[in-house]
Structure 1
Amino acid sequence: MRRFAIGAAVSGALALTAVSVPAAQALTPDISFSNVVVNGGKSITVGTSATVEVPVTYTITRTADVQFDDVSAVVELYRGSSYGTAENFLFPGDVPTCTAVDDTTQNCTGTIAIDPEIDLYDAKDATTWKSAGVYYRFDDDGYDYIGRTTSATATLKRAAKVTTNASPEPVKKGATLTVTGSLTRANWATGSYSGYTSQSVALQFKAKSSDSYTTVKTVTSGTSGALKTTVTASTDGYWRYSFAGTSTTAAKNSTGDYVDVQ
């Protein structure tokens, strides 16, 4: 997926000028952004390397004298108390597609591209981001633009990884089964996954004949996110650790580890 370069350039200019448009480039169109929805209202999970393309839908309403095409208006995200003093921005991905409702209203679909290696700096980015609509126009003299905040928000979370290993395999019925694993989460400052300590993680079991997992006990992650507990082996089935997530880190289930009980 590619980033919408024009939108990023204009948004960067907006950030540098704290949303104040220079007098020589003043643009005062009657245009508004409404019905902004980011990622279908769901939180956004980002790891350490893959770019995440986040869907965005919005409505543009303007007066008839405002020039418009599909690259004229986009939605971006920002982190901070206000747009003008934002600490970070997330810019549009591919060119949005807009469909006319009437002469002055368009419904648009676009994306916001999040490349964790470029766009995310540290743990502060795992929070609720605000949104802004940006309208801009190019001509022979350059461009002019205007940015307007909207009421829409989006929660950005760090991706988690969970592993499970049950041993010994096979195991005798009634014997002790040791289940180890780890809980880690994306560290955007280092570009790697770091241990997530002091977190409640459920140990779950699914019998060979069952379609669903049941929680057996809760384990607290230790140093470097280490998980370890013991259970009594009773029947064939799958063991896994399940992390419910937090306000900053997404939920994650490990792959089930099958144990043959003899």
Structure 2
Amino acid sequence: MRVYLTAARLSFRRYITYRSAAFAGAITNTAFGFIRAYILLAMWHEKPQIGTYDAADAVTYVFLTQGLITPIGIFVGSTELGPRIRTGEVATDLYRPCDFQLWFLATDLGRALAGLLLRTVPPVVVGVLALPTRLPTSPRRWLEFALCCALALVISFAIRYLVSLSAFWTLDERGTASLLLVVSMFFSGMIIPLVVMPGWLGSLARALPWSATLQVPIDVLLGTETNGFAGALTFQAAWAVLLVALGRAVTLAARHKTVVQGG
């Protein structure tokens, strides 16, 4: 366990170094938050209640998603493993006396914690001060939200890890990562809340693992999750276990398919 904590700590120190870039990113996230918020306010002006959301819920949702973009890794198509496969450095990783998958999960955790400190708070605080929002005051609700966000990170990592592993066969995961970015933005609720999606499309979006990365944790915080906290946690845990197990299986297969470009 100590080696993974060290990996997470060193990754955190590396990502926390780029404070100027993080500050610029926080400003950008906040600006886009206002653009998205006013678009949704126009929608809710025409229909004051959509699904389980009212206008205040929609605005709160926007700024929370803007704050979670970096920690959850919505705009990150793969993990640090992908480039290392392309360069051949993965050969060193395979010889480390630790679990291959857990090592990269630990480094991703360090990245997420740095993003949480540098880029999550500003969009949420500015949004709350500028527009009508609805954040709960119950400590229990915030604890439930934190647990859901932890599982959301595991799910996001597991998906991006699988994309990174594809480089063992294709030698370059960037095409797959670009496709994942589009799918992730749409089905996570990053573009619009999934409550807006009608009929079978909405049902499909809510059933896919991407909904567990943004929509489900925020619904738990807002108290709009139809299945409650227990149902949300069960849904997330099921996808986390399935995707991590799939990642372990693919990792085992990839060990027999290691190809270093040029040799």
Normalization by structure 2: what TM-score?
Answer: 0.20
Q: Which has the higher helix share?
A: 2
| TM-score calculated relative to the size of structure 1 | 0.20
* Greater RCO (Cα-Cα under 8 Å, separation 6 or more): 2
Greater gyration radius? 1
Q: Could you say which structure has the higher strand fraction?
A: 1
